Amino acid sequence: MSTPEVTPVGPGPGTDEPDQEPTIFVLFGATGDLAHRMVLPAYYELYRRGLMPAHWVLIGNGRGDVSHEDFQGDVRGAVEGTGVQLDEQEWSAFAGRLRFAGGGFDDTDPGSLLDVIDTVRHQVGDNARYIHYLAVPPVAFGPLTDGLKAHDLLTRARVVYEKPYGTSPQSFQELDDRVHAAMDESQVYRIDHFLGKEATQDLHVLRFANTLVASIWNNRHVAQVQIDVPETLDVADRAAFYDATGAFRDMVATHLFQVAAEIAMEPPVSFSAADLQDARESVIAAFRPLRSEDVVFGQVEGYLDLPEVREGSTTETYAAARLWVDTDRWRDVPFVLRSGKQLAKSEQRVTLILKEPDGPLDGVPLHAGELSFSLAGDGEIELSLVLKKPGPGLDTVRQTMRLSLDDVPDSDPLPPYVALLHDVTLGDRSLFTTGAGLEQAWRAAAPIIDAPPTPIRYAVGSDGPAEGDALTDGIGWVAAQFDS
């Protein structure tokens, strides 16, 4: 398999980013679905925006024997599949940095990876650092980590782990011990793409830069917090993975717990990575372990007919939970979380439902005051208030004002995977989960993992089991009420 020369060109078109260290990116699982859908297009977007280091190469790793040229063609297909219109000159320069190392990789057999690294090292730079991305099933995290250590590929390296990073408190601890035996915590980047969303990050700015918002961010003014991610999609394309994981592990105990921490955290000392992570870890430690009466599982009709689903499977395709945060700021305020497949609509929404004020007005609509954030796309903020209905009487009406973040002038939002990969390149761990934080999250989830509730059957296109709605104390799921 021939190895074309790597031409030492700059980071890419239109960059204001200073040159960074020469970098060898290694993408494990490069021929898999996640790499094809998310990771490879994100690398191209980084290059297109001029956010790559000055000198770099990307080596895809997998078990197959794929030529460099064929791998470049596969990457092109992945990028074009996102709807990007390629500039041929730009693409040619990017593709010239792509290599493939086949034969697999573990602690006893590195396949062809070390050979490919040797052929590009002198062209990228003998002092090149490594950024390893593990876009592989969780069962492969441990063996690949052992392999990186055995073949001395962790010196001056950062390692990105996809989720789920463990599937239970025990499996998390076993994996984390294995990872820390190979490298320092500062080298570990546990990815959660919900933290990379522009709208999730904007929660901080909206809260900490606006007195109006900061003053209501507590249990004196908030009756309930909803974090709701219903989906219309099914699981047919990844039924085998999903049947071994379920909605609770896949979404609630991972993504939605992390979003809850973003909302519930105390103001950090600063916006440095260490201080943000400390604030996040502290509030996750205050998550009360879930109780069975606060969790509802559901399974969509027809799930058991999927060919890769085990006969008689009790895996949930819907999970709703009522989480309590035992801090002075949020004590007695329920955080209700929901995610499920094949529901009536798709949303990614955080809503603070405000308490009714004491006052002289009668007939004020219940729970009419809401501050809501759409996490989808570039994000949107909605504020619902009670106003006087124009006319001779003193009738009230609820009105909603919307601010779409993609209308902000001169904005240049980064998709979540692009933003997170950029942060890895810069060494910024602000938006990545820590081992300590995940340990506390698994602690809160443990009672449900140990004794999961029996899933309740629900119809395709419905809002899920009525028992899940009951967790909202009669308010209902706000996301289901929005006109998207």
**Which residues are annotated as part of the binding site for substrate?**
193, 197, 231, 250, 341
Residue tagged active-site, from 55, 255, 367, 422: 255
CA 88 to chain centre: 32
Residues placed in the known binding site for NADP(+) = 63, 163
Q: How far, CA to CA in Å, does 439 sit from each of 92, 166, 254, 282, 319?
A: 44, 10, 11, 12, 21
Rg (CA), the chain: 24
Secondary element (H or E) of residue 146: helix 141-150
Tell me whether residue 151 is one of the annotated catalytic residues. no
Spatial separation of the C-alpha atoms in residues 96 and 373, rounded to whole Å: 41
Decide if 247 contacts 317 (C-beta within 8 A).
yes
Q: From CA 151, how far away is CA 105, in angstroms rounded?
A: 10
Q: Which residues are part of a known binding site?
A: 63, 163, 193, 197, 231, 250, 341
Classify residue 325 by its DSSP letter: B
| DSSP letter, residue 392 | S
Name the phi and psi angles at 293, rounded to 5: -75, -10
Q: Do residues 222 and 193 touch, judged by C-beta distance below 8 A?
A: no
Contact 163, 190 (CB under 8 A): yes
Q: At what angle do helices 435-450 and 169-182 cross, to 10 degrees?
A: 160
CA atoms of 381 and 451, how far apart (whole Å) = 37
Q: List b or e across 356-392, with b for residues whose CB sees 16 or more CB atoms inside 10 angstroms.
A: eeeeeeeeeeebbbbbbbbbeebbbbbbbebeeeeee
**Contact call for residues 230 and 480 (beta carbons, < 8 A):** yes
Between CA 427 and CA 269, with CA 374 as vertex, the angle to 5 degrees is 40
User: What residues act catalytically?
Assistant: 255
